[in-house]
Structure 1
Amino acid sequence: MKKQFLFLIFSFFALTLYADVKLPNVLGSNMVLQQQSTTKLWGWAFPGEKIKITASWDNKTIETTADGNAKWQIDLQTPKFGGPYQIVVQGNNKIVLENIMIGEVWVCSGQSNMEWNYHLGVPGIKDELAQAGKLNIRFFSMPKTTSKTPQDNVEGSWTVCDSNSLKAFSAVGYYFGKQLSQDLNVPIGLISSNWGGTPAEVWTPADLVENNPTLKEAATKKAPVAWWPVTPGYTYNAMIAPIVNFNIAGAIWYQGESNTLTSSSYAELMNTMIGSWRKAWNKNLPFYYVQIAPFKYDRYNIGALVREAQTKNLSTENTGMVVISDLVSDTLNIHPVNKKDVGLRLANWALAETYGTKKGAYKSPIFKSFTVNGSNGLIDFDNAEMGLMLKGEKAKEIFVAGADQVFYPAMVKIKGNTIVVSSKQVKKPEAIRYQFSNAGIGNIFSKAGLPVAPFRTDNWEVNTGSLK
């Protein structure tokens, strides 16, 4: 009995000797912490082990103790932007985090168009390499990984933006961050968490999908593929859950192409996903997203229906949508090569709505109302205070139908922020559709230069049959 007791005592002290304090990988040298906020530091240590933390911006030491699950967490108040700083974490061992900046942190998520980088082909980004190291930007790139349950750590490390690290990072994210850095004159931290081909279900906690009959039914229609996960929650658990303790300013999102066959539930799915992220971060995160681009899918109108759902998501508080139909040069390429202007338009939303530094128009005109005056249909728009204009002599991709639901190309006259639509074949307009197809590209813009978002005024059944 005495030997057993001595063995237990020896084991306890042996474990204590090797119970080094550990941090998750997202807490590391070169990171950016959200300025003027309460940010969390957390990790693991032997139960009961005392941990002291000292940040060089105020040199105050704060303390906490690891709990019975060998976990610890502490709140740290961050100052106004600046740096570089140092954080010392002292337990049985000592961890020194160097070259830390205080600034603004954003998550860049979605599928392949957010993932797209220098190596995959982005015109113009080669010109960025020489100056990349002069920008005060830091990157954290999530590896592609999945989990059935929420994880508390992920592989990866923070890197300083330079000519080498930029090549593997999201081009949209980079251009977004560059614009913020230049306009706000603060350090920018960008966390890239994306995976080409993934449907939005995998970025949403599984229980929220499984307990919603509409979302559950749509999820069952996702056939397994060899290159990306389709199981609800799997990338959320492995690529979002590990960083929800890390305070961020907001998120940008470019996804939707992989939900074209279940567009009827997409708006609800996105609202559910956004809500789950906000709950996890415990804040009303700004969420700015890209409307999917024109592309020739193999079924009728499935892209149009996703774009329609994305427009509906604008009713969700603190969201913004970038329309990019004018940035597409090849509708046979699902990855439009112009990533710079996509990033800049996302940045303009953030600068205006999150930071209050609006420089000009950043919202595309959105359909507001439809009225009929004789043989004319009148469409009014939000976000067109300066008026509308055509780029070209005749309007493209706009159609009008009567009660027979047969659509004809429309003639358009512009009066301020109203378009007047008519057709000799339609005596009384019942519905108008603009750029409501997979690959159609319209040419109606605000006078500020932003494309009108695709729309339809009807709720008639839409043909989504195969093109083959």
Structure 2
Amino acid sequence: MCDKTANYTINKRAMNSHIPNIKLFFAATWTCLSSISLSFADIRLPHLLGNNMVLQRDTQVKFWGWADPGERVRVTTSWNGKTDSIIASDDGRWELRMATPRAGGPYAILFRGKNTIELTNVLIGEVWICSGQSNMAMNGTSGLTDIQQELPRADRNDIRFFKIPRTSTSDRQDDCQANWTVCDSVTLNTFSAVGYFFGKRLADTLGVPIGLIEAAWGGTSAEVWTPAHAISKSPLLKNNAEKITPSDHWPTKPGLAFNGMIAPLTPFKIAGTIWYQGENNVGPYSSDYDSLLTTLIHTWRSEWQHDFPFYLVQIAPYRYPVPLSAALLREAQTNVLSLPNTAMVLTTDLVADTTDVHPTNKKDVGMRLANVALAQHYGLRQITHQHPIYKHVSIDQDSIFVAFDHAENGLDIVNPSEHHFLIAGKDRVFHKAQVKVRGNVLVFWNAGIKNPVAVRYGFDNTATASLFNKAGMPAIPFRTDRWPVDRQ
């Protein structure tokens, strides 16, 4: 993607100087519209269209809502003074598309039927969804030190939050009970820490307003975020979903969180999604997570009619009770990267306690996600963002050579005494391997194994990072075999 940063700079003084002009503009607009017949019925907007919102820049955005059937709704935007109108359908719904300018604001939008709705303090910038389970939802109230340190300097007019309450429903919803808020010490304390650090990095680097929509629920599996009709089309996914243990604390049936927390967002133009989920899918069907997440991504993109970026966080090292169950899920997460416009960031070097499924370092996770977005979506290719990933393997006598992508300047091994490098012969029994680096190739061997056939790195529930590229990015765990895994 081309580098568009030349168009991103905002005059922040100008952002705060538009308000008087907006008032004059709408005073004139109301005078003009006062001659319109007052036979119109009241119009209503979804909560997602509200004061303080951020709209996606340089595109066609959708405005929508409800009115009486046959009612004409007029929409006027202050950034260009244009008015467009639409007649509500027989079921009272209406929608229209209008062009947004380059990043900036604040602006106002006027909706006019019998009643008038004026939205103010609207910014134009970049909008991202932050979704998943508890590691995405964690915030300042969770005691995160990084967020507590941010609170004294949290007043950021260029960062806006829309936090969706946890909503589980079998019926698809077209609205959600939330409101856009400006980032400050109060609103930040209860918003996703990963989302905030992601958005802050984007705002500081691009110089544009950032709108962040949090749709996260601790304990949820990916099935509940996937439309039920998509799960039902796959015998594999349907069978797995039917065996999820019910819970009193979160939904467990397919589509329930999607219906209440994602469906209301689908008319709203977004730049992309960051996703931190997977812990609750660790178990008997860990290996099927790639099919599940692939289905989720396809259906979300279909709902938005946009192949937006989808960036995920690989689940952190943790002592899950079933051996290798998390390793298999991480492998499945890696497999999802075969989809276009996806990427993954690691946490294997960011965990201090593998007995806690909620690592407290959310700042670096958010920063890594932002660096991926800056490099891959916004064209700032010079930003370090790629993890070394297993490319291909070759065997020469008693050694196995593994080559990596994204390690052009070489590899580094940290704590080689840790049991993260394994090698096996034809008996399929893995032993600790000796390893050495040759450029972007890692050489495995074990003096006691003749004619080895497979190696693994970090393929364990609790393995932390031992292998990095020269830019300090940890390598993605992998195995070269595809043998059945005994998880007993």
Specify the TM-score bucket, using the shorter chain as the normaliser: over 0.9
Larger deviation, residues 127-136 vs 241-250: 127-136
Q: Identify which of 73, 88, 98 aligns with 2:120.
A: 98
Counterpart for residue 103 of structure 2: 81
Counterpart for residue 462 of structure 2: 439
What's the CA shift string for 1:27-65, capped at 9, x where partnerless? 000000000011000000011111111110011111111
Displacement of 1:17 in angstroms is: 7.0
1:460 counterpart = 2:470: no
Counterpart for residue 343 of structure 2: 320
Distance in 2 between the 1:220 and 1:357 partners?
A: 44
Counterpart for residue 375 of structure 1: 398
Distance in 1 between the 2:157 and 2:328 partners?
A: 39
Alignment of 1:147-166 (within 5 A): 147-166=169-188
Distance in 2 between the 1:345 and 1:331 partners?
A: 21
Larger deviation, residues 123-132 vs 164-173: 123-132
Displacement of 1:442 in angstroms is: 3.2
Counterpart for residue 333 of structure 2: 310
Distance in 1 between the 2:416 and 2:216 partners?
A: 41
TM-score (norm 2): 0.91
Equivalent pairs, count: 450
Counterpart for residue 367 of structure 2: 344
Alignment of 1:129-278 (within 5 A): 129-134=151-156, 136-261=158-283, 262-278=285-301
Letter in 1 for 2:123: M
Residues 215 and 323 (structure 1 numbering): CA distance in 2 closer, same or farther, change over 3 Å?
A: same
1:124 counterpart = 2:178: no
Displacement of 1:130 in angstroms is: 1.9
Distance in 2 between the 1:325 and 1:442 partners?
A: 5
Distance in 1 between the 2:42 and 2:157 partners?
A: 35
* SS of match in other structure, 2:156: coil
Distance in 1 between the 2:432 and 2:329 partners?
A: 23
Displacement of 1:461 in angstroms is: 1.3
Letter in 1 for 2:216: N
CA contact (8 A) 2:129 2:272 kept: yes
What's the CA shift string for 1:386-435, capped at 9, x where partnerless? 11011245464111010111111111110000000011221111111111
* SS of match in other structure, 1:327: coil
Return structure 1 stretches of 4+ with deviation > 4 angstroms: 393-396
1:364 counterpart = 2:365: no
Counterpart for residue 28 of structure 2: none
Displacement of 1:359 in angstroms is: 3.3
CA contact (8 A) 2:53 2:123 kept: yes
Distance in 2 between the 1:375 and 1:181 partners?
A: 52
Counterpart for residue 17 of structure 2: none
Residues 193 and 284 (structure 1 numbering): CA distance in 2 closer, same or farther, change over 3 Å?
A: same
* SS of match in other structure, 2:141: helix
Distance in 2 between the 1:458 and 1:139 partners?
A: 44
Letter in 2 for 1:81: A
Identity of matched residues, %: 48
1:41 counterpart = 2:63: yes
CA contact (8 A) 1:224 1:230 kept: yes
Displacement of 1:135 in angstroms is: 5.1
CA contact (8 A) 2:156 2:182 kept: no
What's the CA shift string for 1:283-319, capped at 9, x where partnerless? 1110000000000001111000000000000100100
1:391 counterpart = 2:411: no
* SS of match in other structure, 2:150: helix
Larger deviation, residues 202-211 vs 184-193: 202-211
1:20 counterpart = 2:42: yes
Please list every run of 5 or more consecutive structure 1 residues that lacks an aligned counterpart in the other structure.
1-15
TM-score (norm 1): 0.95
Displacement of 1:124 in angstroms is: 2.0
Please list every run of 5 or more consecutive structure 2 residues that lacks an aligned counterpart in the other structure.
1-37
Distance in 2 between the 1:402 and 1:330 partners?
A: 33
Counterpart for residue 136 of structure 2: 114
Counterpart for residue 293 of structure 1: 316
1:63 counterpart = 2:67: no
* SS of match in other structure, 1:459: coil
What's the CA shift string for 1:170-192, capped at 9, x where partnerless? 00000000000000000000000
Displacement of 1:264 in angstroms is: 2.2
1:280 counterpart = 2:303: yes
Distance in 2 between the 1:165 and 1:183 partners?
A: 22
Distance in 2 between the 1:282 and 1:93 partners?
A: 32
Letter in 1 for 2:181: T
Counterpart for residue 7 of structure 1: none
Distance in 2 between the 1:135 and 1:382 partners?
A: 40
Larger deviation, residues 144-153 vs 164-173: 144-153
CA contact (8 A) 1:111 1:194 kept: yes
Distance in 1 between the 2:175 and 2:329 partners?
A: 33
Displacement of 1:109 in angstroms is: 0.2
Q: Identify which of 427, 438, 441 aligns with 2:450.
A: 427
CA contact (8 A) 1:208 1:272 kept: yes
CA RMSD, aligned part only? Answer: 1.2
CA contact (8 A) 1:132 1:162 kept: yes
CA contact (8 A) 2:173 2:260 kept: yes
Distance in 1 between the 2:478 and 2:196 partners?
A: 30
* SS of match in other structure, 1:164: helix
Displacement of 1:360 in angstroms is: 2.9
Letter in 2 for 1:146: S
